[in-house]
C-alpha cells in the first residue's frame, strides 16, 4: 500500500457524507434514519454527516419499494454522486418490496434492478444501530483501498 | 386555476429539508410567492388497491404501513372501524391501554415534527434536544409494545399484551423526566427572539381558509378551530379530554400547539395509569360484514377510514382519508402564498407537518 | 403536445387518484349535477388541478355541503361558493356573473328550475372554454 493510499484511507474513514432518498416506503425507515441523527446514536462521532445532497455524498441510503415516479430519476441521483460511492438499501422494501409487493400495487422492487446496491439492511424497519453498522461496514469494504482496487 | 408565470421555482423531490419526496412548484414574483402547486407520485404504492379482497388479518398490517410515523393510530382506527362493523366490545383495561399507546405515539410524532421545524429554521441545537427526547418516548413505546415503529399493538377486541406493574412505574418515571425537559425546551422555543423572527407572522392560515380546505389537527387548532376527534371517542371522554387551541394562525402557533399537546398527552397517560381498571385485555370477537365510516385523531389530525367488508371479514372497498391530504393542500394553496422568501416556503411547509407517505398511500 | 425534460406526464397518476372509491362517487355526483359526461369532467379536473387538490376533493366537498351558501337558496342550488371557493373549478368572477344573471331571472318571475337550468348551461360553457 502506498503512502498516498494510506492517507486517503485514513481521511475517508472519518468523513462519510450520506444522502438519503425515499423511493416509496411507509416512512418508518425514514424516521429510523432520522433517529440516527439523535445524540443517543450520535453518528457524527464516526465522522458520518447527513447532508441529503447527492453531489457531495459518498453513501446513498435507498429507502422504499421503487414507485413509478422514480423511473430514470433514481438513476439520475445515482449518477450525480462522485466516486467512490456506495448505495445501501434500508429496510425490507428495497430488498423485496415487503408487503407492498402484491398484485395490484404500483411498486417495482427490488431496487437492485435499477442501481447497484452495496449493502442491504433487512427489517421493517431496521433499528438505527443496524443502519449505522451497515454504513460503517460499507465504509470498510468499499471505500478502503479504492484507488488500488480500481486502477 | 392554472396560470403561467415567468419565474417558477421547483423544490424537491430531493430536498435537504424534506423528509420525504414531494415536488413543490412555486410561482414567484421576485422572491414573493404568488402561487404553488404540489405534484406527488413519488410515493404512490397503491395500498388501497392491495387491501381490496384481503382478510382483515392482512389489512391490519397494511393499514399500519400507510404511515410509519403515526402507525399506532392507523392500526387503532382500522381495528375500531372493524369493531364498529362487527359489534365487538372492548374490555375497559384494553381501552385504556390503547389510549396510552396512542398518546405515546402522538408524543413521538409531535416531537419529530417540531424537530423538523427547528432543523428547517436552522436551530439545530433545539432540534437535537427534541430528537433526543423523542428517543426516550420511543423507549417507552418499545417497552410497552415490543417494537419501535410498526408495533401492531391493537387487535379486534383488545390489545396484544398487558402492561406489567414494573413497566408502569418506569413509564411514570420517564414521563416525569420528559415533562421536565420539555418544559425547558418549549420555553426555549417560546422565548427565543431569533425563532420568533422566523416563525411569528409567517405562513398565515386564516380560520375561513382552514375551514374551506377542511384542515384538521394541530394545523387547524393553531387557526382557532377546536375540532378534535378525540372528543367523540368514549375512552377520551371518560378521561375528560379538552382540546388545546390557539388563534395566532402562524408557524409559531402550530409548533406551540404541538408542544402543548405533548404536555396534554403526558397528562392523559398519567390519568390512564392512575385509573387503569383491572381485568382482561382481550374480549375476543368475530369480524363480520358491514360498511362504516370511522374517524380517529391522528397526531396530524382527523384520520378517516371508509370500509366495506364481507361476511368473512374481508375488505371489499376501502378508502383512507389521511390528515396530511387536507393539511398539505391548505399549506400549499393558502399558507405559502405571500411568503416573503423561498426560505419561508420550506419552513412553512414543514410547520404543517406534511407526511407524503400518508398522502399518497 | 408537451415534451417533458425532467417531469413525467402526470395524467395517469392523476387518473388513478380520481378513480379511487370516494373520488369516483364524488366525480360522478358532480357530473350528474352539472349534466356533463364523467370523462369530460375527469379530463377537466386532470388538466386544471394539481395532485394534492385532487386528493383533497372529497374533504372539500364535505365542507362545502356543510358550510357553503347557507344564506341564499339560489346560490345553494347553483353552488356559488361550492364551485368557486371550495372546489375551485371555476373563477369567482365568472361564477358571480352567472349567479347575478340567474338571480335576476328568478326575481323577474322565471321559475326556479328554468333559471337554474340556464345557470347550469352557463357553467358548462365556462368549463368547456
Q: Quick one: pLDDT band at residue A25, thresholds 50, 70, 90?
A: confident
Which chain A residues have any C-beta within 8 angstroms of a chain C C-beta?
Answer: 68-69, 71
C-alpha torsion sign, points A122, A124, A125, A126: negative
Cβ distance of A67 and B41 shorter than 8 Å: yes
Report ipTM for this prediction.
0.86
Residue C57 maps to which CATH number?
Answer: 1.10.3070
**CA B323 to each of CA A111, B203, B285, B300, B350: distance values in angstroms, whole numbers, following the listed order:** 30, 19, 30, 6, 14
- pLDDT-derived band at B47, boundaries 50, 70, 90: confident
Residue B19 pLDDT level (bands cut at 50, 70, 90): confident
Tens of pLDDT, residues C79-128: 777 777 777 777 778 887 887 777 788 777 777 777 777 778 888 887 77
The predicted pLDDT at position B4 comes to 57
Q: Which of A24, A27, A70 sits opposite B69 (nearest CB)?
A: A27
B: neighbours with 3+ CB pairs under 8 Å? A, C
Q: Is residue C101 part of a domain?
A: yes
CATH classification at residue A121: 3.40.50.12280
Residue to test with chain C: of B212, B215, B360, most C Cβ within 10 A: B212
Q: Nearest CA to CA, how far is C53 from chain A (Å)?
A: 18
Residue C1: pLDDT band with limits 50, 70, 90: low
Question: C1 in a domain, yes or no?
Answer: no
Q: B209: pLDDT confidence band, cut at 50, 70 and 90?
A: confident
Average per-residue pLDDT for chain A? 85
pLDDT above 70: percentage of residues in chain B: 98
Asked if C113 is an interface residue toward chain B (Cβ–Cβ < 8 A), one would say no
- The residue-averaged pLDDT of B349-355 equals 86
Q: Give the length of chain C.
A: 129
pLDDT for B5 beyond 70? no
Residue A18 sits in which domain range? 3-149
Where in the sequence is the domain holding C87, given as residue range(s)? 11-128
- A31 and B69 in contact by Cβ < 8 A? yes
Chains that touch A (3 or more CB pairs under 8 A): B, C
Chain A residues with CB-CB distance to C13 below 8 A: 68-69
C2 has pLDDT over 70: no
Task: Assess if residue C5 is contained within a domain.
Answer: no
Q: State the total domains in chain A.
A: 1
Domains of chain B, by residue range, sit at 47-360
Report which DSSP code applies to B314. Answer: B
Interface membership of C8 toward A (CB under 8 Å): yes
DSSP assignment of B222-272 equals: TTT----GGGG-HHHHHTT------S--SHHHHHHHHHHHHHHHHHHHHHH
All three cell numbers of B339: 411568503
Class of domain B47-360: mainly alpha
The sign of the dihedral angle between the CA atoms of B184, B190, B196, B200 is positive
Instruction: List, for residues C17-62, the tens digit of each pLDDT value.
Output: 888 888 888 888 888 888 888 888 888 888 888 888 888 888 888 8
* C4 in a structural domain: no
Q: Regarding predicted confidence, which is higher, A96 or C77?
A: A96
Any domain includes C104: yes
pLDDT digits (tens, 9 = 90+) for B309-337: 888 888 888 888 888 888 888 888 888 88
Q: Is C123 part of any domain?
A: yes
**Cα(B304)–Cα(B327) distance, integer angstroms:** 14
Q: How far apart are CA B317 and CA C22, in angstroms?
A: 10
Please give the average per-residue pLDDT across C55-79, as a whole number: 78
Distance CA C51, CA B41 (A): 8
Residue A67: per-residue pLDDT? 86
The residue that leads in pLDDT, C114 or B183, is B183
Q: What is the pLDDT of residue C40?
A: 85
Cell, residue A101: 409487493
Amino acid at each position: 500500500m502506498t503512502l498516498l493510499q494510506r492517507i486517503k484511507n485514513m481521511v475517508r474513514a472519518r468523513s462519510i457524507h450520506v444522502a438519503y432518498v425515499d423511493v416509496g416506503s411507509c416512512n418508518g425507515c425514514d424516521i429510523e434514519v432520522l433517529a440516527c441523527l439523535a445524540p443517543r446514536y450520535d453518528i457524527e462521532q464516526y465522522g458520518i454527516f447527513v447532508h441529503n445532497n447527492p453531489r457531495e455524498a459518498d453513501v446513498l441510503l435507498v429507502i422504499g419499494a421503487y414507485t413509478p415516479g422514480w423511473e430514470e430519476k433514481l438513476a439520475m441521483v445515482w449518477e450525480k454522486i462522485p466516486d467512490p460511492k456506495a448505495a445501501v438499501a434500508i429496510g425490507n422494501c428495497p430488498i423485496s418490496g415487503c408487503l407492498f409487493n402484491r398484485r395490484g400495487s404500483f411498486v417495482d422492487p427490488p431496487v437492485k434492478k435499477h442501481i447497484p446496491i452495496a449493502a442491504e439492511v433487512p427489517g421493517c424497519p431496521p433499528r438505527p444501530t443496524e443502519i449505522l453498522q451497515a454504513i460503517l461496514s460499507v465504509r470498510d469494504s468499499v471505500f478502503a483501498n479504492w484507488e488500488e482496487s480500481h486502477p | 386555476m392554472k396560470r403561467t408565470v415567468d419565474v417558477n421555482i421547483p423544490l424537491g423531490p430531493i430536498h435537504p429539508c424534506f423528509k420525504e419526496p414531494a415536488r413543490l412548484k412555486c410561482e414567484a414574483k421576485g422572491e414573493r410567492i404568488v402561487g404553488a402547486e404540489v405534484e406527488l407520485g413519488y410515493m404512490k404504492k397503491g395500498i388501497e388497491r392491495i387491501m381490496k379482497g384481503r382478510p382483515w388479518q392482512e389489512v391490519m398490517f397494511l393499514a399500519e404501513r400507510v404511515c410509519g410515523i403515526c402507525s399506532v393510530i392507523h392500526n387503532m382506527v382500522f381495528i375500531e372501524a372493524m369493531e364498529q362493523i362487527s359489534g365487538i366490545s372492548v374490555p375497559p383495561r384494553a381501552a385504556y391501554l390503547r389510549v396510552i399507546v396512542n398518546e405515546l405515539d402522538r408524543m413521538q410524532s409531535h416531537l419529530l415534527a417540531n424537530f423538523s421545524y427547528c432543523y428547517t429554521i436552522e436551530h439545530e441545537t433545539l432540534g437535537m434536544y427534541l430528537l433526543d427526547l423523542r428517543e426516550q418516548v420511543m423507549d417507552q413505546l418499545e417497552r410497552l409494545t415490543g417494537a419501535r415503529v410498526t408495533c401492531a399493538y391493537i387487535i379486534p377486541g383488545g390489545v396484544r399484551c398487558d402492561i406489567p406493574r414494573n413497566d408502569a412505574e418506569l413509564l411514570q418515571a420517564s414521563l416525569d423526566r420528559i415533562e421536565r425537559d420539555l418544559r425547558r425546551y418549549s420555553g426555549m422555543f417560546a422565548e427565543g427572539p431569533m425563532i420568533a423572527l422566523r416563525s411569528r407572522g409567517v405562513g398565515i392560515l386564516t380560520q375561513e381558509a382552514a375551514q374551506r380546505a377542511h384542515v384538521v389537527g394541530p394545523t387547524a387548532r393553531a387557526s382557532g378551530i377546536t375540532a378534535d376527534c378525540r372528543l367523540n371517542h368514549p375512552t377520551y371522554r371518560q378521561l375528560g379530554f379538552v382540546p388545546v387551541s390557539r388563534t395566532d394562525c402562524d408557524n409559531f402557533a402550530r409548533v406551540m400547539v404541538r408542544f402543548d399537546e405533548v404536555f396534554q398527552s403526558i397528562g392523559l397517560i398519567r390519568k390512564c395509569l392512575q385509573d387503569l381498571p383491572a381485568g382482561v385485555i382481550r374480549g375476543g370477537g368475530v369480524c363480520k360484514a358491514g360498511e362504516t365510516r370511522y374517524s380517529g385523531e391522528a397526531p396530524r389530525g382527523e384520520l378517516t377510514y371508509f370500509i366495506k367488508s364481507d361476511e368473512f371479514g374481508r375488505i371489499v372497498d376501502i378508502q383512507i382519508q389521511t390528515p396530511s391530504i387536507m393539511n398539505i393542500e391548505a399549506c400549499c394553496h393558502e399558507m405559502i402564498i405571500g411568503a416573503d422568501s423561498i426560505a419561508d416556503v420550506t419552513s412553512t411547509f414543514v410547520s404543517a407537518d406534511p407526511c407524503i407517505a400518508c398522502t399518497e398511500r | 403536445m408537451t415534451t417533458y425534460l425532467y417531469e413525467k406526464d402526470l395524467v395517469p397518476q392523476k387518473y388513478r387518484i380520481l378513480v379511487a372509491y370516494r373520488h369516483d362517487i364524488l366525480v360522478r355526483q358532480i357530473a350528474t349535477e352539472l349534466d356533463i359526461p364523467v370523462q369530460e369532467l375527469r379530463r377537466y379536473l386532470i388538466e386544471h388541478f394539481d395532485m394534492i387538490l385532487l386528493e383533497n376533493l372529497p374533504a372539500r366537498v364535505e365542507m362545502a355541503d356543510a358550510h357553503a351558501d347557507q344564506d341564499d337558496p339560489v346560490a345553494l342550488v347553483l353552488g356559488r361558493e361550492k364551485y368557486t371557493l371550495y372546489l375551485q373549478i371555476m373563477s369567482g368572477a365568472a361564477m358571480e356573473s352567472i349567479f347575478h344573471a340567474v338571480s335576476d331571472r328568478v326575481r323577474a318571475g322565471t321559475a326556479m328550475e328554468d333559471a337554474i337550468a340556464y345557470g347550469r348551461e352557463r357553467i358548462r360553457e365556462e368549463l368547456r372554454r
